[in-house]
Structure formats: C-alpha cells, structure tokens
Amino acid sequence: MNAPRRALNISVLRFNPRDPDSTPRLQTYGLEEADGMTLFIALNEIREKQDPSLQFDFVCRAGICGSCAMLINGKPGLACRTLTKLLGPEITLAPLPGFELIADLSVNTGKWMRAMSERLRTWVHATERDLDLRRMEEPMDPDLAERIYELDRCIECGCCFAACGTARMRPDFVGAVGLNKIARFRLDPRDSRSDDEWYEIVGSDDGIFGCMSLLGCHDVCPKSLPLQIQIAFIRRRMAAMGLS
C-alpha cells in the first residue's frame, strides 16, 4: 500500500516594491506533495491552481541557468534542484538578499552580475600579438583546460553572494562569484594581464581583502565549485604583491 502523501505548507515572503499598496508579508499555501516533487514543481502548481500573481523565475529547470535561486528555509539554493521530500512539511521561501527585488521570489541577479563583470573586466585580455588567430587557437594543455573548465561551471546564480556576510556590509564587494572569475582568468594563458594590473582590479576591500573567509559561499554553491581554494589562491598572490 502506498504511504499517504504529505501535506506541505509553503510560506512565501511576498512583496512588490513597484506596487505602492504592497507591504512585505508571509503568505502560506497548502498543497499535497507528489512523487519527485521539486520546489519548482510546487511553485508552479501554486501559481496554476491557487495564485497566478505569485512571481518567481525559472528557465532551464535543470540547475543550469541559475535563475531560480532563492532562500529555502533561510539558506540559498536552487528551487529546481531541491526536492520537497528532503525538507520538512513547513517550508519558507524568500528572495535572495543582496540583489534588486523585482517582486516576491524574483530578483535581478543579472544586473548585479553584469556590473561586477564589467568592474573585473571578466574577458580574455589579449595583446595585439596574441590576437594573431593562430596563437589564440594554439592547443591548451588538457589539464589546464580542465582546471579552467571547472571554474567556468559557475552559473551566476548568486547563492554565494547571498550567503556572504561581507556582501551584506559592502554592497560593492565582488563576492565569491567575482573572486572565482578572477581565479579563472589568472589561469588562462591567453590573458595577458600582469600581477600589477590584477592588483589594481582586485587588491582592495571590495575585492580579495574584503573577504573575511566566512566560507558561507563555499557551503552553498550548488555547483560545488572549489571556492575556498580559489579565494586562498588569489589572496596569497595579491598579498605577496602588496608586500613587494
């Protein structure tokens, strides 16, 4: 005989900053858990059957686009990769802190990510000589390519930034997502930037020296990126530069 299905209560922090009549409030929705239910499925069911006004973001439903990140019982995570059976019957959802709130669970991580990427100039900087296509297309050592690929797995979900105490105090802090990008471009032999140039970009309290090694970022990254190792690598490099 099948076990009876659980009754879930999902409480969502609701607020629309563009609506003058809206005030922040928790709204609770009851629903029956289904086999293999994720928070993505649960939220869609709520929107379809109970409340079409509920706002949240999803694109890929497969942990790839990073758009469904939210606070799940107070901890940043991806709604599409979170099974309700791993949570208790009372679930609280809130928008990711640190980003512009659009409404309810929808935040504008893209705007913040773009500004951070522009500040860190997260693209390959090649010299004119390197722009010779034959040089750019030289095969890369497979182990190095693998290490770069590992860091490129970041989906810019914002979970690391939302979990970071420094980010709450310093709005211009680049966060673990930014520090991971720096580590990625430091590894890339096609990038011609010197240590001095990197120091200018990231050797400040909004960069590597703002990080207090709180490691919330490392604990919540849904792609399990080695953030702790990357941050230590950049800090050693930049600290040596600062002393030299």
Pick the piece of the chain touching ligand SF4 (CB under 6 A) from 2-10, 53-61, 129-137, 218-226. 218-226
Tell me how far CA of residue 41 lies from CA of 27, 47, 141, 157, 222, in angstroms.
18, 10, 42, 19, 19
Q: Can residue 103 be called a binding residue for ligand SF4 (CB under 6 A)?
A: no
Q: What is the 3-state secondary structure (H, E, C) of the chain?
A: CCCCCCEEEEEEEECCCCCCCCCCEEEEEEEECCCCCEHHHHHHHHHHHCCCCCCCCCCCCCCCCCCCEEEECCEEEEHHHCEHHHCCCEEEEECCCCCEEEECCEEEHHHHHHHHHHHHCCCCCCCCCCCCHHHHCCCCCHHHHHHHHHHHCCCCCCHHHHCCHHHHHCCCCCHHHHHHHHHHHHHCCCCCCCHHHHHHHHCCCCCHHHCCCCCHHHHHCCCCCCHHHHHHHHHHHHHHHHHC
**Range 73-132, binding ligand FES (CB under 6 A):** 78, 80
When asked if residue 159 is in the footprint of ligand SF4 (CB under 6 A), the reply is yes
Instruction: Give whichever of 164 and 182 is closer to ligand F3S, judged by the CB atom.
Output: 164
> Could you say which of ligand F3S, ligand FES, ligand SF4, none residue 58 binds, taking C-beta under 5 to 8 angstroms by partner kind?
ligand FES
Q: Output the smallest distance, CB 58 to ligand FES, in A.
A: 4
Candidates 1-9, 56-64, 139-147, 221-229; binding stretch for ligand SF4 (CB under 6 A) = 221-229
Pick the binder of ligand F3S from 8, 113, 176, 182 (CB under 6 A). Answer: 176
By beta-carbon proximity to ligand SF4, the closer residue of 8 and 183 is 183
Q: Number of residues in contact with ligand F3S, rule: CB under 6 A?
A: 13
Does residue number 34 form part of the binding site for ligand F3S (CB under 6 A)? no
* Closest by Cα among 15, 45, 9 to 30: 9
Q: Does 72 bind ligand SF4 (CB under 6 A)?
A: no
Q: In this chain, which stretch among 92-100, 138-146, 173-181, 201-209 interacts with ligand SF4, using CB under 6 A?
A: 173-181
What does 180 bind: ligand F3S, ligand SF4, ligand FES, none (CB cut-off 5 to 8 Å by kind)?
ligand SF4
Stretch that binds ligand SF4, among 33-41, 132-140, 155-163, 230-238 (CB under 6 A): 155-163
| By the rule CB under 6 A, 217 interacts with ligand F3S | yes
